[in-house]
Amino acid sequence: MRVLNSWLHIPADSDFSLYNLPYGIFHTGDGKPRAGIAVGDHIVDLAAAAETGLFGKRRFFKKIFEQSTLNDFIALGKPVTGRIRRKVQAWLIQDSAPENAERLLANRLDAHMLMPVRVGNYTDFYSSIEHATNVGKMFRPDNPLLPNWRWIPVGYHGRASSVVVSGTPIRRPWGQIMPPGQDVPVYAATKQLDFELEMAFVIGKDSALGEPIGAAQADEYIFGLVLFNDWSARDIQRWEYVPLGPFLGKNFGSSISPWIVPLEALRPFRVKGPRQHPAPLSYLQTRGARNYDIALEVAIAAAEKSPQTIVCRSNTKYLYWSFAQQLAHHTVNGCNVCVGDLMASGTISGPEAGTYGSMLELSWGGKEPVRMADGGTRTFLEDGDIVTMRAAAEKNGIRVGFGDVSGMIVAGSAGK
């Protein structure tokens, strides 16, 4: 990959390098949502850039980029979205600052970020063998992995309406909980609120009902990736999940990072995934490197001004089932997908304790408290805790990051 330099100052350690250029929706206090591309500490205002004629078809692209989500832009297809990204990159690597530079740039650190896409459907997978095995050991010590796990990317359909952008507070949910040793449930606030460290992909192309998407075609349908926190209430989930799976223990909130990193920016970081045994059935078989080497971390702070404690460092390369296999399985029965649909990986855990992607694993079901930087401990999350996840890929001096996704836990309501 050739070395890129810009007239714009971009910090060397920025997630948003010239090799990244992710898409998001923002406003600058004027309440007018518009599309932008993050670069260093700035945002290239795509609506303003369209007005100058940078992309041609001024009125068309200005209207596209003044939408409150990226759905219409993404639906134009990768030949168009890729061309826009390359135009912006070319604008940034000129020898000197263009005359219109100030007009096209916003301060990213002062911008207000919004949901990047309108999520019509959301699916959550269970694709980390380390996570699935750890959870299985807690509840089924003699049979941690169920018989189907190595054959299919297990998943469930989640709730799209409660997917929120980073920074949105998360209310502690109430629900039915079965106390240990009792046979009658109680209605109470969850005592086992948890995070789940995940990566999610955004669908960039509609498919037709009845027509599966092959694993080899997946890149054609995946627009880009976001960092994802699928909050979980473990005690509510434990009581409700038999026989149909997660429901109220999961659908009260899921947080996404505001910037969508396009798949083409992540191409240099592709790696082979874990060896799959037994060999997958034909429709799930893939060739070459289909996983991504993206470093992940989770930090918890007890309050806004409290020190952060990094409780987990993991990596997307650990995923047993790749994004391509997840999408192929999701559609093998003819289920169609739509632009803006979101599909999350499930908790990403690694092989060692410090790489576990949830408090359930880090505290081993609450038996081993995690020590915090302020001297306290956690088994699960408490009100006031701020959970921040970060992700970045780095190779040969090239860095492509996701920024972060964060949320503060606030007390929930018991309802009426």
Domain ranges of the chain: 23-114, 122-410
pLDDT at 163: 98
- 23-114 and 122-410: identical CATH topology: no
Per DSSP, the three-state class of 331 is helix
pLDDT for 305 beyond 90: no
pLDDT at 141: 84
| Structure token digits, residue 306 | 């409290």
CA distance 361 to 164: 25
Per DSSP, the three-state class of 227 is strand
pLDDT at 43: 98
Distances from the Cα of 355 to the Cα of 134, 138, 232, 316, angstroms: 12, 17, 18, 11
User: Which residues make beta-bridge pairs with 157?
Assistant: 123
Residues with Cβ within 8 Å of residue 129, at least 6 apart in sequence: 145, 149, 150, 274, 320
Indicate the pLDDT class of residue 35, thresholds 50, 70 and 90.
Answer: very high
CA angle 239, 243, 247 (to 5 degrees): 60
For the stretch 10-23, pLDDT in tens is 999 999 999 999 99
Closest CA to 37 of 221, 196, 197, 259: 259
CA distance 40 to 10: 5
pLDDT for 416 beyond 80: no
pLDDT for 339 beyond 80: yes
**Residue at token pair 């041609």:** 56
CA distance 83 to 243: 48
For the stretch 47-61, pLDDT in tens is 999 999 999 999 999
For the stretch 71-109, pLDDT in tens is 999 999 999 999 999 999 999 999 999 999 999 999 999
CB 170 within 8 A of CB 253: yes
| Structure token digits, residue 409 | 């836990």
- The CATH code for residues 23-114 is 2.30.30.230
Quickly count helices (H) and strands (E) in the chain. 10, 26
Indicate the pLDDT class of residue 265, thresholds 50, 70 and 90.
Answer: very high
Peptide bond between residue 179 and the one before it cis (omega within 30 degrees of 0): no
CB 262 within 8 A of CB 242: no
**Residue at token pair 């359930």:** 360
User: Which residues make beta-bridge pairs with 202?
Assistant: 224, 342
CB 49 within 8 A of CB 89: no
Residues that are catalytic: 131
Quick one: 122-410 is in which CATH superfamily?
Fumarylacetoacetase-like, C-terminal domain (3.90.850.10)
What Rg do the C-alpha atoms of the chain give, in angstroms? 21
For the stretch 316-333, pLDDT in tens is 999 999 999 999 999 999
What is the DSSP secondary structure assignment for residue 108, as one 8-state letter? G
CB 36 within 8 A of CB 23: yes
pTM score, two decimals? 0.97
CA distance 101 to 42: 11
Per DSSP, the three-state class of 310 is strand
Residue 232 or 416, more confident: 232
